[in-house]
Amino acid sequence: MPRMLVTGGAGFIGSHIVERLAGLGHEVVVYDNFSTGKRRNVEGIAGRVTVVCGDVRDLPALRDAARGADVVFHEAALASVPRSIDDPAASDEVNVHGTLNVLLASRDAGVKRVVYASSSSIYGNSPELPKREGMHPAPESPYAAGKLAGELYCGVFSTLYRLPCVMLRYFNVFGPRQDPKSQYAAVVPLFTSALLRDESPVIFGDGGQSRDFTYVANVVEANLAAARSEAAVGRVINVACGATTTVNELCARLRALIGAKVEPTHAPPRQGDVRHSCADVSLARALLDFEPGVSLDDGLERTVEWFRSAA
């Protein structure tokens, strides 16, 4: 079976990719420095994967991990707009230089495909909806700028070094194992954990900002398809559901699922947050045969069940 390397493989999205690959019988190497990834995320498949404690800023360690790999799924990142604003240098070291290291290690190891986790934050605050891959990038945070730089590096390595790369722009991924405890946590785990504790969730701004919330299992299937599709090589592809939901609507759905009576409170808007985001996923359909198999409501229900069981 092919050998797969997943950077950030103990993280939220990475661990779901690892679990799916292991379930298909692939040989899988998890490469993670455990700064945000959790060993418990891969404990259930510990006997079926190799776990390497390493940092994407460590090129020699990456070279060792990439040796013999057929496909690299590059999920490792400091994945937060506010964190990048607080510490742009750290964001650059991991998200830009770390990505370059992954590409160098992959090129030199003869890897057959790199699937790169990019971000919808690249589109910035353009009022045009839905977001199409051909739109002019307008990053408004160091995180978004770094993800765009990673895409450009992948494109260069695809054409110059003949290292086949596919760049997937994720839109607001959520699901089980997403950490609600970090000060930079995403909105779904923050709201879910607060409501389960009967505490008021905090909405930044008026709550009218909208997002294309995407359940993690859909993202996993897009990654597997990107590893197979020859037509996707060298392309940037949105991965989302193609639907928009406001933060206020999201909070209302979670309150109904949980049966919470507590009302949300509001705080000032966060710097760097975009107002509206919704994806055009027609390219994903064409190149990856992608359809989001799990709806927003089903995904939220599964997420709430997981947080209840993990409490």
Which of 85-94, 179-188, 208-217 has the least mean pLDDT? 179-188
Strand residues in the chain grouped as ranges (E): 3-7, 27-32, 49-53, 71-74, 113-119, 165-170, 173-174, 202-204, 210-211, 214-215, 236-239, 245-246, 265-267
Residues 6+ apart with CB under 8 A from 55: 33, 61, 98
pLDDT of residue 301: 98
**Residue corresponding to tokens 């790169």:** 116
Q: Which amino acid is at 89?
A: A
Tokens encoding 223: 């990654």
pLDDT of residue 236: 98
Average pLDDT over residues 228-232: 98
Q: Is the pLDDT of residue 264 over 80?
A: yes
pLDDT of residue 272: 77
pLDDT bucket at 37, cuts 50 / 70 / 90: very high
Between the alpha carbon of residue 28 and those of residues 7, 48, 91, 233, 291, the distances in Å are: 11, 8, 27, 22, 25
C-alpha 220/C-alpha 48 separation (Å) is 18
pLDDT of residue 170: 97
Q: Which of 303, 295, 204, 202 is CA-nearest to residue 257?
A: 303
Q: Is the pLDDT of residue 217 over 80?
A: yes
C-alpha 79/C-alpha 83 separation (Å) is 8
For the annotated catalytic residues, the residue numbers are 143
Q: How large is the angle between the packed helices 296-310 and 216-228, nearest 10 degrees?
A: 110
C-alpha 258/C-alpha 185 separation (Å) is 20
Which of 44-53, 175-184, 223-232 has the least mean pLDDT? 175-184
Q: Is the pLDDT of residue 302 over 90?
A: yes
pLDDT bucket at 1, cuts 50 / 70 / 90: confident
Average pLDDT over residues 39-65: 95
pLDDT tens track for 169-211: 999 999 999 999 876 779 999 999 999 999 999 999 999 999 9
Structural domains in the chain? 3-175+214-241+279-293 (3.40.50.720)
Q: Is the pLDDT of residue 212 over 90?
A: yes
pLDDT tens track for 142-161: 999 999 999 999 999 999 99
Higher pLDDT pick, 46 / 208: 208
Q: Which of 227, 225, 197 is CA-nearest to residue 284?
A: 225
**Cβ 278 vs Cβ 212: under 8 Å:** yes
Average pLDDT over residues 307-311: 89
Q: Is the pLDDT of residue 274 over 90?
A: no
pLDDT bucket at 252, cuts 50 / 70 / 90: very high
**Residue corresponding to tokens 């390497």:** 52
Average pLDDT over residues 261-275: 89
Average pLDDT, the chain: 95
Q: Which amino acid is at 74?
A: H
Q: Is the pLDDT of residue 311 over 80?
A: no
Task: For residue 166, give the 3-state DSSP assignment.
Answer: strand
C-alpha 56/C-alpha 161 separation (Å) is 20
**Cβ 72 vs Cβ 108: under 8 Å:** no
Q: Which amino acid is at 135?
A: M
